[in-house]
Structure 1
Amino acid sequence: MGKHHKEKLLLVFCLVSTFAISMVVFDREARSADLPRSRQNKGLSHIGNTSPDNTATLSPVEQQQSERLKRFHQYCNSNSPGSKRFSPDINLGRYSVSEKYKLIYCFVPKTGSTTTAHVMYQLENGRGTNKFLNRTPGLYLKRLSDYSKEEASLRLRTYTKFITARDPIQRLESAWIEKFLKGPQRDEYTEKYQSMMETVPHLNLKNKSPGDKVGNSSLQQIPFLAFMKAVARQQKRWYNSHWEPAYIRCSPCQVDWDYILHTDTLAQDYHHMFQKLGMSDMEDILPPVRPRKAGANFQERFENIPIGLLWRLKEMYKPDYEMFGFSQENELKKILHIETNNR
């Protein structure tokens, strides 16, 4: 067994231990601290009483929503406003509004945001109206920033609020695939972020084959390793909303969410939400169940990512992992499984 592999095994052991300890702390804090009154009355109201006696009566999707909201509330109650891991003030321009159905959604790119923008646009303007747009429908949606402070505050208190979340590492992979590998904006992003190549000076770029060039022959394709290193360095010149942590982008702990949707269960989560909100007649506009774009070559891409880099990214996205219930340990196990089979 090689040194690199032993280091990864050791890290997995440490991560699992840390995760187990955090779960115990979360549980103790949740029992010792009452939820804010608004969360008690609203956070889980759409799925009924979630007391132990009533949990068995919930459907699997309802139980899943209950667990997501519970963990989210635990995280926010465990982190005071002065903590670095607590969400900053809300940017109202990132919240879209459907007045017709009284919905509010915060855009987190690469979590199903484009799909959600199509759904929100059709809810407000009618079935099929999104087909006639020449730009992403998200640009046409009304935002909370379009209202006065009082009007925005009223809607945040009274409208149904939902957010889509995704495993941070999978979200990073998806962002790289779309923006640097084969998406329609590949050339634009490659030129804008060409300086990311500074993070991999050991690569002999001059001798790369023509297939590694993008658009203009002077531009080098951004390797996955360079992208991941650039994101981890958190420099302003390499910032982009497609890999900005959700806890920074949407200030989740400032909002009493009614639903938390996950990218890998997006279709069923939408179906559940529409059913509960009495919007079944609009279910035909919802996305079909389909495989995620990211993940097909997951292990292959991550095998060459240094373990120290994965650790820095884990710390960078730690609030997202914890508040939305994702586990980086599972992703590391996938990588280790492939390596073990190849040795």
Structure 2
Amino acid sequence: MGTSRMFRIFIVLGSLFMILLIIIYWDDVGASHLYLHTPVSPGPKIPHHPPQPRPHTTRTPSFLSDIDAFVNQFLEPGTGEPTDTAPADMSNQSEKAEERYIPRREWKIHLTPLAAELRERQEQRRRLLQEMCANDSIVFPGKNRSFDDIPNKELDHLIVDDRHGIIYCYVPKVACSNWKRIMIVLSESMLLEGVPQRDPLAIPRDLVHNSSMHFTFNKFWKRYGKFAKHLMKVKLKKYTKFLFVRDPFVRLISAYRNKFEMHNEDFYRRFAQVMLRRYANQPTPPSSVDKAFALGIHPSFSHFIQYLLDPLTEKEMPFNEHWRQVYRLCHPCQIQYDFVGHLETAEEDAEHLLRLLRVDNVVEFPTSHRNLTASSWESDWFSTVPVEARRELYKLYEPDFKLFGYNRPDSLLNE
């Protein structure tokens, strides 16, 4: 009787030990195995086509193959992504969207090669980023941290399009509205009567900047939990990553013009009133932007620069995205970008990029000539800013100048 009881105890303990091993094995290995098998879709999904058989290889059954079979029960057919259907927006979707869906045209096969000058331009920009990130004499916050150390809240500018394998880091005041429109068209995240929107310019501006229209890295945690960082790194390795930048000082001028010279109630209450109180001798600024503009009251460009240089500003909150440094938005020393566009060469770069992504027959980059800020205006805008303040401002944005190949504005700094 004692032997039988001991045998049963050993059976129970052995079973518990095996379950524990399986749990540990899944936690340590299963996640990476799952994401290493996440497919990158280079183009539109073609429904109802059976998968092509893989070349036959001799393979013995393993625990990992059993895990794959288990996980595949929870994946959408043909996507390799966990099922997580977003709530339907009944204002622009239809129950019969599948019936009215019109497949995209096949991609073009380009017979003429890209100009060697454009390829060399990209090679130089990528090489410069690598050199600057490896240069120990260039120091800025967060430069040497790993991707794992980047807080989730700082990954909200990385937009992912799984349909085409694209990651775009958007930089406000660098044509980001139009590139966001491109990403909406490519990801087909906006439907009009059940059919994906094809015209970027037809997308309303309020939807362009609506976070629900874009799947960003900071949303991975909600969808994938503890596997989020693993999946991010796999997609960073496999997908084409791009960003667009511009001269840092010109970007600041553009931000000021757009947010403080135009009627913007939100920016007036959050930032302009602070500037007026601190630097413009306005202890009780008007309560609304309309009242302020009616009285001819708004912060000057010099007040804006004072605000950026004031230590109190970042003690209260991080820089707003419209004037936050690019290295803080896009982490170029942790993410190896495949394409670096400049606003100064926007048309050539956009055409090059869309062709590189093989989507130039699907969408065209909208040309915009609205209220552009020219770099030649820098001396006029900074004429009211003391030279010492200009030098402090350059130090604040120096990493962006050096990382992306913009010359030091000596004419502004050496007066």
Q: Normalization by structure 2: what TM-score?
A: 0.58
Q: Does 1:240 align with 2:320?
A: yes
* In 1: Cα distance, 2:171 partner to 2:344 partner: 15
Instruction: Select the structure of larger CA radius of gyration.
Output: 2
> Which residue does 2:170 correspond to in 1?
107
Partner SS, residue 358 of structure 2: coil
Q: Does 1:60 align with 2:117?
A: yes
Partner SS, residue 100 of structure 1: coil
* In 2: Cα distance, 1:87 partner to 1:95 partner: 20
Superposed, which structure 2 residues align to 1:169-180 within 5 Å? Answer: 169-180=249-260
Partner SS, residue 392 of structure 2: helix
2:131 alignment partner, one of 70, 74, 95:
74
Partner SS, residue 168 of structure 2: strand
In structure 2, the gaps of 5 or more residues are 1-113, 189-196
1:75 positional shift = 0.4
Contact kept, 8 Å, 2:249 with 2:378, in 1: the verdict is no
> Residues 280 and 249 of structure 1: is their aligned pair in 2 closer, same or farther, counting only changes over 3 Å?
closer
> Residues 310 and 96 of structure 1: is their aligned pair in 2 closer, same or farther, counting only changes over 3 Å?
same
* In 2: Cα distance, 1:258 partner to 1:293 partner: 27
Q: Does 1:277 align with 2:340?
A: no
> Residues 59 and 290 of structure 1: is their aligned pair in 2 closer, same or farther, counting only changes over 3 Å?
farther
Residue 189 of structure 1 aligns with an amino acid whose one-letter code is F
2:400 alignment partner, one of 288, 309, 320:
320
1:134 positional shift = 6.2
Superposed, which structure 2 residues align to 1:207-226 within 5 Å? Answer: 214-217=289-292, 220-226=297-303
Partner SS, residue 243 of structure 1: coil
2:202 alignment partner, one of 105, 126, 131:
131
* In 2: Cα distance, 1:81 partner to 1:315 partner: 11
Relative contact order higher in (CA < 8 Å, ≥ 6 apart): 1
> Residues 270 and 331 of structure 1: is their aligned pair in 2 closer, same or farther, counting only changes over 3 Å?
farther
In structure 1, the gaps of 5 or more residues are 1-56, 337-343
Percentage identity across aligned positions? 23
* In 1: Cα distance, 2:344 partner to 2:173 partner: 12
Q: Normalization by structure 1: what TM-score?
A: 0.70
1:81 positional shift = 11
RMSD: 3.1
Task: Render the CA deviation track for 1:116-174: whole Å, top value 9, x for unaligned.
Answer: 10111111114126635462424211112333322222111110000111111001100
> Residues 83 and 302 of structure 1: is their aligned pair in 2 closer, same or farther, counting only changes over 3 Å?
closer
> Which residue does 1:162 correspond to in 2?
242
Residue 206 of structure 2 aligns with an amino acid whose one-letter code is R
* In 2: Cα distance, 1:111 partner to 1:134 partner: 16
Q: Does 1:252 align with 2:327?
A: no
1:233 positional shift = 1.8
Partner SS, residue 340 of structure 2: strand
Superposed, which structure 2 residues align to 1:267-306 within 5 Å? Answer: 267-283=347-363, 285-288=364-367, 290=369, 293-295=372-374, 297-306=377-386
1:221 positional shift = 0.5
Q: Does 1:141 align with 2:214?
A: yes
* In 2: Cα distance, 1:304 partner to 1:162 partner: 36
Task: Render the CA deviation track for 1:230-273: whole Å, top value 9, x for unaligned.
Answer: 01225134731110111112211100110001112122111111
